[in-house]
Amino acid sequence: MPASALRFGGKDAFVIKPGFRTRTWTYRDLADVVPRAAQVLAGDGVHKGDRVLIWGVNRPQYGIAFLAALHSGAVLVPIDVGSLTDFAQRIAERTRANAAIVSSQTRERARALGLRLIEMEALPDRARGRDPLPAADVAADDLAEVVFTSGTTGDPKGAMLTHRNILSNAMAATEIFPIGPEQRLLSFIPLSHMFEQLAGFWTVLLSGASVVYPTSRQPTVVRRTFRERKVSMILITPAVVRSLLLAIERNAEAQGRGPLLRKLRRFARRLPMRARRILFTSVHRQFGGRFRYIVSGGAALDPALGQAWAELGIDVLHGYGTTECAPAVTFNRLDRNRLGSVGVPLPGVDVRIAPDAEVLVRGPNVFKGYWENDEATRAVLDADGWYHTGDLGEIDKDGFLWLRGRKKDIIVLADGLNVYPEDIENVLAADARIQAAATPQRPAIATVVGLQRSGEEVQVHAVFLLKDERLVRAIVRDANTKLSGSQQIRGWSIWPDDDFPTTPTQKVKKRFVIERLLELGRAETAPAPAAGTPARALSDVERLVSQVAEVPDVRVVAEAQLSADLGLDSLQRVELLGLIRRSWARTSTTRRSIRTRPSPISSGWSRARAT
CA angle 115, 190, 442 (to 5 degrees): 120
Q: Buried b vs exposed e over 320-349: b needs ≥16 C-beta within 10 Å?
A: bbbbbbbbbbbbbbeeebbbbbbbbbbeeb
Query: Residue 563: what pLDDT?
Result: 58
Distance CA 81, CA 235 (A): 18
Q: How many CB atoms lie within 10 A of CB 585?
A: 10
Q: How many CB atoms lie within 10 A of CB 118?
A: 25
Distance CA 513, CA 500 (A): 8
Query: Residue 123: what pLDDT?
Result: 97
Amino acid identity for residue 584 in this structure: W
State how beta strands 293-296 and 233-236 pair: parallel
pLDDT-based confidence at 291, cuts 50/70/90?
very high
Please state the pTM of the whole predicted model. 0.74
What's the chain's average pLDDT?
86
What would the CATH number be for the domain defined by 410-520? 3.30.300.30
Can you state the angle between helices 540-549 and 588-596, rounded to 10 degrees?
90
DSSP annotation of 409? G
Distance CA 498, CA 437 (A): 12
Give the residue among 103, 104, 63 at the shortest CA–CA distance from 213. Answer: 63
Instruction: Annotate 236-252 with three-state secondary structure.
Output: ECHHHHHHHHHHHHHHH
Architecture category of domain 540-610 in CATH: Orthogonal Bundle (1.10)
* Backbone dihedral region for residue 79 (phi beyond 0: left; psi -120 to 50: alpha; all else: beta): beta
pLDDT-based confidence at 606, cuts 50/70/90?
very low
Distance CA 472, CA 455 (A): 26
Question: Per the omega criterion (within 30 degrees of 0), is the bond before 327 cis?
Answer: yes
| Beta bridge partner(s), residue 461 | 449, 491
Distance CA 67, CA 72 (A): 9
Q: Residue 602: is its pLDDT beyond 60? A: no
pLDDT tens digits along 234-269 = 998 887 888 889 889 988 999 999 999 999 999 999
Distance CA 228, CA 285 (A): 11
pLDDT tens digits along 355-407 = 989 999 999 999 999 999 999 999 999 999 999 998 889 999 999 999 887 77
pLDDT above 90 covers a percentage of the chain that reads 62
Distance set, CA 580 to CA 436, 485, 545, 583 (Å): 43, 20, 9, 5
pLDDT-based confidence at 591, cuts 50/70/90?
very low
Mean pLDDT of the 135-150 span: 92
pLDDT tens digits along 158-198 = 999 999 999 999 999 999 999 999 999 999 999 999 999 99
DSSP state string for 20-72: SS-EEEEHHHHHHHHHHHHHHHHHTT--TT-EEEEE--S-HHHHHHHHHHHHT
Mean pLDDT of the 422-436 span: 88
Identify the residue with better confidence: 246 or 1: 246
Mean pLDDT of the 414-426 span: 77
Query: Residue 419: what pLDDT?
Result: 81
Distance CA 167, CA 185 (A): 20
Instruction: Annotate 5-34 with three-state secondary structure.
Output: HHHHCCCEEEEECCCCCCEEEEHHHHHHHH
Distance CA 337, CA 334 (A): 6
Identify the residue with better confidence: 593 or 371: 371
State how beta strands 293-296 and 315-321 pair: parallel
Query: Residue 506: what pLDDT?
Result: 73
58-67, 248-257, 440-449, range with the lowest pLDDT: 440-449
Distance CA 275, CA 223 (A): 23
51-60, 118-127, 221-230, range with the lowest pLDDT: 221-230
Q: Buried b vs exposed e over 426-435: b needs ≥16 C-beta within 10 Å?
A: bbbbebeebb
336-350, 384-398, 499-513, 549-563, range with the lowest pLDDT: 549-563
DSSP annotation of 365? T
Mean pLDDT of the 524-543 span: 52
Q: Residue 124: is its pLDDT beyond 90? A: yes
Query: Residue 577: what pLDDT?
Result: 65
pLDDT-based confidence at 582, cuts 50/70/90?
low
Q: For residue 180, give the 3-state DSSP assignment.
A: coil
Domain boundaries, the chain: 410-520, 540-610
Mean pLDDT of the 211-223 span: 88
Q: How far is CA 531 from the centre of its chain?
A: 46
Q: Residue 128: is its pLDDT beyond 80? A: yes
pLDDT above 70 covers a percentage of the chain that reads 84
State how beta strands 358-362 and 387-395 pair: antiparallel
